[in-house]
Amino acid sequence: MDRRDFIKTTGKTLAFAAATTAAGVLFHNRRVAGVEPIVLKTTDFTVPTEKSLPQIALARNTDHIAALHASLDAVGGIKRFIRKGDRVTIKPNIGWDRTPEQGADTNPVLVGEMARLCLAAGAALVIVTDIPCNEPRRCFLRSGIRAEAEKAGAKVILPLEEDYVRTVMGGQVLDVWPVLKYFVQTDKLINMPITKHHSLSNFTGSMKNFYGILGGRRSQLHQKIDQSIVELATFSKPTLTVVDCTRVMLRGGPTGGSLDDVAIENSVICATDLVAADSRASEFLGLTGEQVGHIALADKSGLGKLDYRSVGYKEIT
């Protein structure tokens, strides 16, 4: 079954999933007697590896759009990742009711430009969405992401109860969980995290950003945070990872608040190896990949390379 047939087929099952909402099926990680979870296994959105291209590139520029273009071009350009007619979902971090200057959410200018690039490459639809920790409407507005994405022509979606599908994820920690359907019913998935400190995992970037695809009681995953992060990244497999390192929250994460905790780095990473991307991004916090539990575990699991130079690394200044 190709991806377009898969989207049509699973659309029928979503109607059933929505009907189970009242019983709490979609919002709890539990099995309900007589109700089978919806199995979604086609979540590999990656593109073929190009041996002639680096799998990770970092560009520095005070013009953040220019930095995005430079790093993206270095890994093959937008047309390597987006084809005419594609449905694209962009996953920024829109978790917090903060302004862009506070560095808690992805830089809205980068999100808007990525949406614009996808549409220019022929995408039929670009969706921008996330599952915030704070009140969703305020997060989408105050972060600036809704305005920039809509200006670029993207469809911005605030998650609703009927938008979740009960999903077999196949992990030790993440077995059956409610997933926002836009992250599985798509042709391409672009992961756009922000680099910052996190009080539990020390660092949050590409892999940790996938917490935002989950409904339910996500806080219970914190008991095995490194394992859950790796299982999420293994399940999702994005087409492209774009890491916002323009403003980096050094302390007080993930919520932040004080501008004194934010360093201006004016950098953007584009990568097809999200483990390598996180390893490089963690250095903005004075860390190495070995010092971040989920990065080291992802490397051992074969998800990607902690040694980002081993997969090709290009830096543009």
Could you report how far apart the first and last alpha carbons of the chain are, in Å? 44
8: burial class by Cβ within 10 Å (0-12, 13-18, 19+)? exposed
Q: Which residues contact 218 (CB under 8 A, 6 or more apart)?
A: 211
Rounded mean pLDDT, 30-59: 73
Per-residue pLDDT at 217? 82
- Where does the pLDDT of residue 112 fall: very low under 50, low under 70, confident under 90, or very high at 90 and above? very high
Number of domains, the chain: 1
Which pLDDT score is estimated for 8?
45
Mean pLDDT of 230-242: 96
Task: Please answer whether residues 233 and 221 qualify as being in contact, where contact means their C-beta atoms are separated by less than 8 angstroms.
Answer: no
State which amino acid sits at residue 20. Answer: T
Q: What is the mean predicted confidence (pLDDT) over 31-60?
A: 75
What is the Cα gyration radius of the chain? 18
Q: Tokens in use for 1? A: 């079954």
The mean pLDDT of the chain is 88
**Could you tell me the two tokens for 108?**
């809205």
For position 146, which CATH number holds? 3.40.50.11440
Q: What is the pLDDT of residue 32?
A: 35
Where residue 56 falls (left for φ over 0; alpha for ψ -120 to 50; beta otherwise) is beta
- Which residues partner with 58 through β-bridges? 269, 315
What does the pLDDT look like over 245-277, one tens digit per residue?
999 999 999 999 999 999 999 999 999 999 999
289-313: pLDDT as tens digits = 999 999 999 999 999 999 999 999 9
Q: Which residues contact 252 (CB under 8 A, 6 or more apart)?
A: 197, 258, 261
pLDDT for the residue 38: 62
pLDDT in the model for residue 219: 79
Residue 25 is predicted with a pLDDT of 33
Helix (H), strand (E), coil (C) string for 236-292: HCCCEEEEEEEEEECCCCCCCCCHHHEEEEEEEEEECCHHHHHHHHHHHHCCCHHHC
Pick the closest to residue 179 from 11, 29, 3, 33 (CA basis). 29
Structural domain boundaries, residue 247: 3-316
65, amino acid identity: I
Helices (H), 75-221: 78-81, 108-120, 136-142, 145-152
Residues 47 and 80 sit within 8 Å (Cβ to Cβ): yes
Q: Which tokens sit at 88?
A: 């694209």
Residue count of the chain, please give it: 317
Q: What is the pLDDT of residue 40?
A: 55
User: What pLDDT, on a 0 to 100 scale, did the predictor assign at position 222?
Assistant: 84
Quote the DSSP letter at residue 201.
Answer: T
pTM summary value:
0.87
pLDDT surpassing 90 at residue 65: yes
